[in-house]
DNA sequence: TGTGGACTGGACTGTCCAGTCTAACAGGAG
DNA sequence: CTCCTGTTAGACTGGACAGTCCAGTCCACA
């Protein structure tokens, strides 16, 4: 009945977490515990051996997702445009990709039930990303590659431009962009940002 | 038992819609029909006299909310900054205000159940706003007050900057800005946008 | 005075689901 | 061989909830 090639007595906890991630992302918190156990190929009791309650399981899943959304940003200020393009590409994948959207939807819907979770998600995800980007931009400002302004403000503007309206659309079920349109748009956005934050001209 | 000053047999339908709006926005689709009826001060059967099912009621509420989020934008291109400030202030209220956020959360969580609703919300809300703003910017471009670029792209950038990260934060339960900080931030954003889309300098 | 339509309170059905309980099974350690 | 631990299938409890049904009330209108 079980897939035969499956290692018997494999780490149920891990399988449960994986299954729960899938199911919660797909159906939100209201996914049933039975379905999660079934998807993990595990008895319901086993689930309750590992996690005291559905809420705790949901929390674990949320923590895992939160940990996975951070976007790396190399500190290299020598070519700001290039660095921002690399960063932006990854950021947009996290932000506008199906998994990211599903996770966000699932979490957002339960802000009332799990306010602490939502706060943690925001602090360790978007807010953390904004802080890192702000640091990067501050260095770029010090180097004169970017006009001086509040670095956090600048970071928020870039993040808004990168995500903004498209995110709303995707959350409402609109389809995403094709690969080449995506690259074009990313470049367009970054250039637009760099224009807004171009260093003041000395007026030759 | 009922509030005595209440007009008897008042329009139950209206009271139901109002109550349902409140309750759905507060608890999402999973709010119970009983609670809605109770909040409307009406028997459950009365609710089912007016709406054939909970889904239909939810749909009506969503349509009402969708209709209320459009932001007016006067066509006056003579002072672009002033117009954008007015527009931005209203937009931010809709986007970052408690009601707007609650409505968005409730809808987003049910994209899977009501894909058509979500699509309609997006088309008549954010997308429509972007179209109008794009028209406005196009006129400003023709007049030379704004650098030429794809007007829809420009509109999306401004909307992203106006909403962007803060919206995510608010959706995660972060508090909003105080009134004066709000005004400052709005001006900062609009000026930043105008810098990105300043007409090309002739270099005197 | 009587009739009809809308409303009320509350009981009721069927469904779904979190969480518990039980009895049985498998494998490793002593 | 026997305990022990983790597992399994499935029955079960208690509660929530959508939607139905009904018996009775209130009111407008004729």
Asked whether residue B61, judged by its CB, lies under 7 Å from any atom of the DNA or RNA strand C, the reply is no
Name A51's Cβ contacts closer than 8 Å, sequence gap at least 6.
A16, A57, A60
Q: Closest nucleotide (CA of A13 to C1')?
A: D6
Asked whether residue A48, judged by its CB, lies under 7 Å from any atom of the DNA or RNA strand D, the reply is no
Please count the residues of chain A. 204
Written in H, E and C, the secondary structure of chain A is CCCCCCCCCCCHHHHHHHHHHHHHHHHCCCCCHHHHHHHHCCCHHHHHHHCCCHHHHHHHHHHHHHHCCCCCCCCCCCCHHHHHHHHHHHHHHHHHCHHHHHHHHHHHHCCCCCHHHHHHHHHHHHHHHHHHHHHHHHHHHHCCCCCCCCHHHHHHHHHHHHHHHHHHHHHCCCCCCCHHHHHHHHHHHHHHHHHHCCCCCCCC
Name B122's Cβ contacts closer than 8 Å, sequence gap at least 6.
A168, A169, A172, A173, A174
Find chain B residues with C-beta within 8 A of A166's C-beta: 156
Interface touch B159/A165, C-beta < 8 Å: yes
Using a CB cutoff of 8 Å and minimum separation of 24, what contacts does A91-98 make?
Answer: A91/A129, A91/A159, A91/A162, A91/A163, A92/A162, A92/A163, A92/A182, A92/A186, A94/A69, A95/A162, A95/A163, A95/A167, A96/A163, A96/A166, A96/A167, A96/A170, A96/A176, A97/A176
A193 near B CB under 8 A: yes
A156 near B CB under 8 A: yes
Please count the residues of chain B. 204
Interface test with B, best of A88, A169, A172 (most B CBs within 10 A): A172
End-to-end CA distance of chain B: 78
Instruction: Say how far A189 CA is from C30 C1', in Å.
Output: 69
As averages over each run of 10 residues, the pLDDT of chain A (204 residues) reads 39 90 94 95 93 95 90 86 96 93 93 93 94 96 94 97 94 93 97 94 55
Query: Quick one: pLDDT at residue A202?
Result: 57
- Are the beta carbons of B61 and B17 closer than 8 angstroms? yes
Interface touch B112/A27, C-beta < 8 Å: yes
Find chain A residues with C-beta within 8 A of B108's C-beta: 105, 108-109, 171-172
Asked whether residue A55, judged by its CB, lies under 7 Å from any atom of the DNA or RNA strand C, the reply is yes
Using a CB cutoff of 8 Å and minimum separation of 24, what contacts does B44-48 make?
Answer: B46/B12, B46/B16, B47/B16
Structure tokens given for A108: 């957002």
Structure tokens given for B164: 């962007």
Asked whether residue A113, judged by its CB, lies under 7 Å from any atom of the DNA or RNA strand D, the reply is no
Asked whether residue A199, judged by its CB, lies under 7 Å from any atom of the DNA or RNA strand D, the reply is no
State the smallest CA–CA distance between residue A1 and chain B in angstroms.
31
How far apart are the C-alpha atoms of A143 and B201, rounded to whole Å? 25
Intervals of chain B under pLDDT 70? 1-10, 201-204
Interface touch B118/A173, C-beta < 8 Å: yes
User: Looking at the partner chain, which of B111, B173, B193 has a beta carbon nearest the beta carbon of A115?
Assistant: B173
B72 near A CB under 8 A: no
Structure tokens given for B166: 């803060």
How far apart are the C-alpha atoms of A140 and A136, rounded to whole Å? 6
Interface touch A195/B196, C-beta < 8 Å: yes
State the smallest CA–CA distance between residue B24 and chain A in angstroms.
12
- Are the beta carbons of B197 and B147 closer than 8 angstroms? yes
Instruction: Say how far A43 CA is from D6 C1', in Å.
Output: 12
Query: Quick one: pLDDT at residue A6?
Result: 36
Structural domains of chain B in order of their starting residue, each with its CATH number = 12-65 (1.10.10.60), 71-196 (1.10.357.10)
């Amino acid at each position: 009945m079980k897939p035969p090639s499956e290692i018997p007595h494999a780490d149920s906890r891990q399988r449960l977490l994986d299954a729960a991630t899938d199911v919660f992302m797909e159906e939100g918190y209201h996914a049933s515990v039975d379905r999660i156990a079934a998807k993990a190929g595990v008895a319901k009791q086993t689930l309750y051996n590992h996690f005291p309650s559905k809420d705790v399981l949901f929390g674990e899943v949320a923590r895992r997702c939160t940990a996975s959304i951070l976007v790396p940003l190399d500190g290299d200020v020598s070519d700001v445009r290039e660095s921002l393009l690399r960063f932006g590409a990854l950021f947009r994948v996290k932000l506008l990709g199906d998994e990211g959207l599903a996770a966000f939807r699932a979490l957002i819907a339960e802000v009332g039930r799990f306010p602490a979770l939502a706060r943690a998600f925001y602090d360790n995800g978007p807010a953390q990303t904004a802080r890192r980007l702000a640091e990067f931009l501050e260095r770029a400002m010090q180097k004169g590659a970017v006009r001086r302004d509040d670095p956090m403000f600048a970071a928020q503007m870039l993040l808004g431009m990168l995500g903004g309206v498209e995110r709303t659309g995707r959350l409402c079920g609109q389809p995403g962009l094709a690969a080449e349109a995506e690259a074009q748009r990313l470049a367009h956005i970054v250039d637009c940002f760099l224009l807004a934050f171009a260093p003041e001209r000395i007026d030759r």
